[in-house]
């Protein structure tokens, strides 16, 4: 659920025009303006910069934000089901492991390695920047069939692990764009006050996939053999593919470029230097900077460890549940997978509870009597705040502190150890099997609340390009950790026994309970010392102002693809005049419309603090195609 950041300013801001062009960019975009450039180019031989293309007014029907509700929800559910399908591929394989062990005489660790390699493939995030260049839909249509081909190869491999393992990794790698691109699709089409509900439905799908697929896979492999764990994945992918094929493109830049080409607009093209800049910034955002942020950013490090651990415990359950329900309760393969339904119920309950918090507590509905949006305010519907706590006198939206979003994490941090202790001390022959099954409900409830809360907190603490990097860091660590846990879980449960193995997990969760409270208390001070957060951006702005440099205005910093962003950076930046060195950073629930992609800022795109690299990258990202 990326991107939650905002702006209020008395000056002309993205609230008044979503794709506002700063004075710094007049020469780059041309004095005609964005929409004039698109329409007037047909009568001129001058090439048009693709970044200057804009919608034809607030009611442009090609703008995904103006689509009818059925079209938005069709796209949302298609992408969510795609994520469900690709994450099913992880635990479906586990259903065939018992037969592979018996038939091919593999040891348990080697056989389960197919899950490890698939999860390592899912950890790749290269699909996100590719979708900013080629569009969301082409990435989906290209990656899924290739992933399905590798899945077919696993089914036809006759169980040779030297073939199975690399094919599983490649299948996961080509399935990963669905996870890294899907959230961008949701952000493309929903207005600010709707996006949290849509994103909740989308985010729960990747968790439900691993939970429900063992049920289908276990019954199928019990009757038809281990290969059916792969055939089910192929069937599911084949069923979702036609829905993707007729799904419309949602990326603003791609839609506008196609329309311009259809209208025979002469678009500017760029050379090899811009393509190199694209590659450089892609590697920075997806690989180099995420690794650096894991090391130097306490917020990213601590919460990534937290989410990675609970996510890894979920995948460890794929080995632990057979020990409990087949070993203790003597269930057959198919029936022993049904207890995963408890976790699934908990995931849905947690999602509904989060939506309740978002709608009723974090961002309540505007009170009666609040005037409707004016036509000028509707010019950028996705940037206009409407929900949220308001001043009772002025009826203006009140600022929001990032740590406020850790409320859901508090609930989840308590639910997780309760669930694990519950499972540990009830999974024994003299207690009915329903008792440990019910323990899955608070586990799923706590897991999804912590995940939602952490993703939002990241998005509130960092500028958009850095949000992309810290989310990539979280995803990388989450899937790498999850890939390792199944390799030792079964030995852990056999040697420590169920009671103490689950108790060990529970005790680790108990140690992590204080994390949201610690960051609620000291998170503001930690953010002020961040190398990548808004405080660092403001410090850089102060240095430029002290040096007499211009070009650090907030308008350029706001031209990014986010859901909520910081209040006007000029007003927040401490200055010598007001002695505001200790002035707190505050946020409102607003966001800017995307300028084609998260990469198309005018700020420091390559993240090295020198302000260069981004213009070239934006050119390349807009025009490589």
The single residue listed with the structure tokens 């209020």 is 8
Report helix, strand or coil for 425. Answer: helix
Does residue 70 belong to any structural domain of this protein? yes
Token code pair at residue 317:
């359950």
* Residue 12 CA from chain centroid, whole number: 31
Mean of pLDDT values over 113-124: 92
List pLDDT tens digits, range 290-332: 888 898 999 999 999 999 999 999 999 988 999 999 999 999 9
* Integer Cα distance of 551 and 553 in angstroms: 6
Question: Is 90 inside any structural domain?
Answer: yes
For residues 339-368, average pLDDT: 88
Residue 221 lies in a domain: yes
| Dihedral of the alpha carbons of 523, 526, 531, 536, in degrees to the nearest 10 | 80
Q: Residue 304 and residue 472: Cα distance in Å, rounded?
A: 10
Q: Which residues pair with 228 in a beta bridge?
A: none
Q: Among 35-39, 203-207, 587-591, name the most confident range.
A: 203-207
Is 557 a member of any domain? Answer: no
Residue where the block lists tokens 């390559």? 606
What would the two tokens of residue 270 be? 């760029």
pLDDT at 531: 86
- Residues with Cβ within 8 Å of residue 226, at least 6 apart in sequence: 95, 96, 97, 99, 100, 103, 159
Cα torsion 416, 418, 422, 425: sign: positive
Number of domains in the chain: 1
Q: What is the pLDDT of residue 73?
A: 94
pLDDT-derived band of residue 563, with 50, 70 and 90 as boundaries? very low
- Decide if 32 is inside a domain: no
Q: Which residues of 551-585 are buried (b: 16+ CB within 10 A; e: fewer)?
A: ebbbbbbbbbbbbbbbbbbbbbbeeeeeeeeeeeb
| Structural contact between residues 464 and 5, judged by C-beta atoms closer than 8 angstroms | yes
**Nearest Cα to 358, choosing from 430, 223, 247, 452?**
452
Lowest mean pLDDT of 112-126, 324-338, 541-555, name the range.
541-555
The helix (run of H) or strand (run of E) holding residue 159 is none
Neighbour count for residue 222 (Cβ, 10 Å)? 18
Q: Which helix (H) or strand (E) holds 545?
A: helix 534-546
Q: What is the pLDDT of residues 425-446, one digit of tens each?
A: 999 999 999 999 999 999 999 9
Supply the range of the domain harboring residue 158.
Answer: 64-252+273-357+405-445+458-525
Q: How far apart are CA 238 and CA 231, in angstroms?
A: 10
In this structure, is residue 372 part of a structural domain?
Answer: no
The CATH number linked to 102 is 1.20.1250.20
Whether 569 contacts 534, CB under 8 Å: yes
Question: DSSP readout, 404-450?
Answer: GGGHHHHHHHHHHHHHHHHHHHH-STTS-THHHHHTHHHHHHHHHHH
Domain-located, residue 494: yes
What percent of the chain has a predicted confidence (pLDDT) above 70?
76
Of the given ranges (236-250, 253-267, 566-580), which has the lowest mean pLDDT?
566-580
Residue 419, domain member (yes or no):
yes
Residue 120 has pLDDT above 90, yes or no: yes
pLDDT tens figures, 125-179: 778 778 877 889 999 999 999 999 999 999 999 889 999 999 999 999 999 999 8
């Amino acid at each position: 659920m990326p991107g939650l950041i905002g702006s209020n300013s008395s000056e002309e801001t993205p609230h008044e025009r979503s794709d506002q062009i700063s004075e710094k960019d007049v020469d780059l975009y041309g004095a005609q303006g964005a929409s004039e450039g698109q329409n007037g180019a047909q009568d001129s031989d001058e090439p048009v910069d693709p970044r200057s293309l804009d919608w034809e007014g607030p009611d442009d029907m090609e703008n995904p934000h103006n689509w009818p509700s059925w079209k938005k929800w069709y796209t949302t559910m298609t992408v969510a089901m795609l994520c469900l399908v690709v994450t099913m591929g992880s635990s479906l394989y586990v259903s065939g492991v018992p037969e592979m062990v018996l038939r091919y005489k593999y040891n348990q660790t080697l056989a389960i390695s197919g899950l490890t390699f698939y999860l390592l493939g899912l950890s790749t995030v290269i699909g996100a920047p590719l979708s900013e260049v080629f569009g969301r839909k082409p990435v989906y249509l290209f990656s899924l069939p290739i992933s399905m081909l590798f899945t077919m190869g696993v089914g036809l491999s006759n169980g040779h692990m030297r073939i199975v393992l690399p094919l599983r990794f490649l299948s996961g790698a080509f399935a990963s764009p669905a996870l890294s691109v899907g959230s961008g699709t949701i952000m493309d089409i929903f207005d600010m006050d709707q996006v949290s509900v849509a994103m909740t439905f989308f985010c729960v799908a990747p968790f439900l996939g691993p939970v429900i697929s063992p049920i289908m896979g276990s019954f199928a492999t019990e009757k038809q053999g281990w290969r059916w764990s792969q055939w089910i994945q192929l069937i599911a992918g084949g069923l979702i593919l036609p829905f993707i094929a007729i799904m419309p493109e949602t990326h603003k830049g791609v839609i506008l470029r196609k329309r311009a080409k259809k209208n025979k607009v002469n678009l500017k093209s760029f050379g090899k230097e811009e393509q190199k800049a694209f590659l450089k910034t892609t590697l920075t955002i997806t690989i180099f900077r995420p690794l650096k942020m894991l090391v130097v950013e306490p917020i990213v490090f601590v919460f990534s460890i937290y989410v990675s651990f609970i996510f890894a415990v979920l995948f460890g359950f794929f080995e632990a549940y057979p020990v409990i329900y087949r070993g203790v309760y003597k269930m057959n393969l198919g029936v022993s997978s049904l207890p995963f339904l408890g976790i699934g119920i908990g995931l849905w309950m947690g999602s509904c509870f989060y939506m309740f918090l978002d709608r009723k507590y974090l961002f309540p509905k505007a009170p009666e009597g609040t005037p409707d949006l004016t036509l000028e305010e509707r010019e950028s519907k996705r940037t206009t705040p409407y929900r949220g706590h308001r001043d009772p006198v002025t009826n203006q939206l009140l600022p929001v502190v990032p740590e406020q979003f850790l409320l859901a994490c508090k609930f989840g941090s308590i639910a997780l150890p309760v669930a694990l202790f519950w499972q540990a001390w009830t999974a024994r022959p003299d207690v009915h099997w329903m008792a440990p099954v019910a323990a899955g409900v608070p586990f799923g409830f706590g897991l999804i609340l912590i995940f939602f809360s952490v993703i939002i907190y990241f998005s509130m603490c960092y500028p958009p390009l850095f949000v992309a990097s810290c989310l990539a860091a979280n995803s990388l660590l989450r899937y790498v950790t999850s890939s390792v846990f199944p390799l030792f879980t079964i030995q852990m449960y056999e040697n420590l026994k169920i009671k103490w193995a689950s108790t060990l997990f529970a005790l680790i969760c108990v140690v992590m309970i204080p994390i949201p409270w610690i960051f609620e208390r000291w998170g503001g001070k930690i953010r002020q010392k961040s190398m990548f957060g808004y405080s660092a951006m403001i410090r850089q702005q102060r240095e430029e102002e002290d040096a007499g440099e211009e070009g650090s205005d907030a308008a350029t910093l706001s031209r990014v693809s986010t859901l909520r962003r910081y209040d006007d950076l000029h007003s927040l930046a401490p200055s010598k005049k007001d002695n505001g060195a200790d002035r707190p950073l505050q946020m409102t629930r607003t966001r800017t419309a995307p300028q084609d992609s998260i990469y198309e800022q005018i700020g420091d795109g390559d993240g090295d603090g020198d302000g260069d690299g981004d213009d070239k990258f934006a050119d390349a990202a807009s025009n490589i195609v």
